[in-house]
């Protein structure tokens, strides 16, 4: 997976590869794959984000809206 995912992301998240998805993303959609990795590098989810009540929308989806 190190050929397709940046090292800092491999240290931050657990990745699984089904049906050669990483290879397909890397070869067929390289710009989009780089954009996804850029967003994941910026993503920070805290314990408070996970445990706090959200009402209609928790803080986690709002973090994705900022991308």
Q: What is the pLDDT of residues 20-35, one digit of tens each?
A: 999 999 999 999 999 9
Residue 8: pLDDT band by 50, 70, 90 thresholds?
Answer: very high
Q: Look at residue 57 and tell me if it is in a domain.
A: yes
Phi, psi dihedrals of residue 38, rounded to the nearest 5°: -60, -45
Q: Has residue 11 been placed in a domain?
A: yes
Please check the confidence at residue 54 and state whether its pLDDT lies above 80: no
The values of phi and psi at residue 7, to 5°, are -55, -45
52 in any annotated domain: yes
Q: Give the pLDDT band of residue 40 (cuts 50, 70, 90).
A: very high
For residue 37, the model assigns a pLDDT of: 96
Calculate the average pLDDT of the chain.
Answer: 89
Instruction: Say how many domains are in the chain.
Output: 1
Is 29 part of a structural domain of the chain? yes
Asked if residue 33 belongs to a domain, the reply is: yes
Please report whether residue 2 resides in a domain.
no
**Domain with 54 in it:** 7-65
Do 4 and 23 touch, CB atoms closer than 8 A?
A: yes
């Amino acid at each position: 997976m190190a050929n397709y995912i940046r090292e800092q992301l491999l240290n931050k998240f657990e990745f699984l590869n089904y049906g050669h998805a990483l290879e397909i993303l890397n070869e067929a959609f390289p710009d989009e794959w780089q954009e996804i990795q850029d967003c994941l590098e910026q993503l920070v989810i805290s314990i408070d984000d996970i445990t706090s009540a959200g009402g209609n929308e928790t803080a986690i989806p709002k973090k994705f809206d900022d991308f």
